[in-house]
């Protein structure tokens, strides 16, 4: 395994070179893509109501139309915050691997990835600060790294891809939602157009890396990785249930509300929708043994 890792883990193929080409053609100045003079009227949704964390629950049914719009404002500020922190973490993970021999063939593309994520962090943070006056604190669960480099690298890029897939589902839904203000639709569109390439990179890296992981790890280790990544999926979707956002929206007893809604089957079904594309990919490539998100938890 050690010998193999001195060479690149990642096959240098045409698909990869194409991503670099498109990135060069699609480059933009982050200061020019959004109109920051736009004012957001008080009577609009900031995030599609169907995407709100309380949607489909008795708590949502009890809110007035005005309260729902207020909730959508603070959940969108939370969405920007979650994206900024998530991207900060994934840029750090990619930076530590830049020009490492195992990732040598990916380094050229990593530069584009870092450049684009740097722009995204800037506009998510700027939006949250300008329109919401704050970024919410980072509540993402800190996770330890694996001692085995092959496992650690694989898990790192799997987490990046899972995080980006969840974000992309929300981007696509919001960029098309005409109820939302132009700047919010546009921010989602700009993000989505870069993320398509990142997701393509993620899938390629996962396929290449899983090949070497299969030869280096026993079946029970692979299953432990699957369980860990499913826990990560759950933690990631749960960052959207932010009690501070509920409090800002005037919802009393925010922590109780969070506890109650997170456990609802209707919300778990929504989590499965958010994760559907990445889950299908991981199962179809034999990286996951099943697409059930909560089953392992129930029997442990």
Which positions touch Fe ion (CB under 5 A)? 120, 164, 195, 198
Query: 48: which DSSP letter?
Result: -
Structure tokens at 298: 């129930």
Q: In whole angstroms, how close is the CB of 92 to Fe ion at the nearest point? A: 13
Minimum CB distance to Fe ion smaller for 120 or for 258 = 120
Structure tokens at 25: 């053609």
Q: Closest Cα partner for 109 from 180, 212, 199?
A: 199
Q: In whole angstroms, how close is the CB of 18 to Fe ion at the nearest point? A: 17
CA atoms within 13 A on the CB side of 192: 16
Q: In whole angstroms, how close is the CB of 112 to Fe ion at the nearest point? A: 10
Judge whether 187 and 34 are in contact, CB under 8 Å.
yes
Minimum CB distance to Fe ion smaller for 164 or for 165 = 164
Judge whether 246 and 264 are in contact, CB under 8 Å.
no
Q: In whole angstroms, how close is the CB of 264 to Fe ion at the nearest point? A: 29
Minimum CB distance to Fe ion smaller for 153 or for 164 = 164
Judge whether 216 and 148 are in contact, CB under 8 Å.
yes
Q: In whole angstroms, how close is the CB of 291 to Fe ion at the nearest point? A: 24
Minimum CB distance to Fe ion smaller for 92 or for 295 = 92
Judge whether 130 and 36 are in contact, CB under 8 Å.
yes
Which residues lie below 8 Å from residue 171, measured CB to CB, with a gap of 6+? 188, 189, 191, 192, 195
Q: What gap in Å lies between CA 126 and CA 235, rounded to an integer? A: 25
Minimum CB distance to Fe ion smaller for 160 or for 261 = 160
Minimum CB distance to Fe ion smaller for 120 or for 271 = 120
């Amino acid at each position: 395994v050690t010998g193999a890792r001195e060479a690149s883990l990642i096959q240098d193929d045409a698909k990869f070179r194409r991503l670099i080409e498109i990135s060069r053609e699609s480059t933009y100045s982050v200061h020019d893509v959004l109109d920051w003079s736009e004012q957001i009227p008080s009577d609009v949704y900031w995030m599609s109501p169907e995407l709100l964390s309380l949607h489909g629950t008795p708590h949502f049914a009890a809110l007035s139309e005005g309260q729902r719009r207020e909730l959508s404002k603070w959940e969108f500020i939370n969405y920007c915050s979650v994206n900024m922190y998530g991207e900060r973490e994934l840029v750090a993970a990619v930076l530590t691997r830049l020009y490492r021999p195992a990732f040598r063939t990916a380094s050229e593309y990593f530069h584009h990835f870092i450049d684009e994520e740097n722009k995204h962090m800037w506009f998510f943070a700027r939006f949250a600060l300008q329109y919401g006056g704050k970024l919410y604190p980072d509540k993402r669960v800190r996770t330890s790294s694996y001692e085995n480099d092959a496992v650690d690298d694989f898990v790192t890029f799997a987490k990046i891809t899972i995080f980006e897939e969840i974000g992309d589902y929300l981007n696509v839904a919001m960029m098309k939602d005409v109820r939302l203000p132009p700047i919010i639709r546009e921010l989602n569109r700009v993000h989505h157009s870069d993320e398509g390439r990142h997701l393509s990179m993620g899938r390629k890296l996962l396929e290449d890396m899983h090949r070497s992981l299969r030869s280096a790890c026993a079946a029970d280790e692979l299953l432990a990785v699957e369980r860990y990544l499913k826990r990560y999926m759950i933690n990631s979707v749960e960052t959207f249930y932010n009690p501070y956002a509920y409090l800002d929206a005037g919802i009393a007893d925010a922590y109780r509300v969070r506890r109650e809604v997170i456990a609802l089957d209707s919300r778990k079904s929504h989590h499965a929708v958010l994760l559907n594309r990445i889950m299908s990919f991981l199962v179809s490539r034999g990286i996951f043994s099943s697409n059930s998100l909560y089953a392992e938890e129930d029997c442990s």
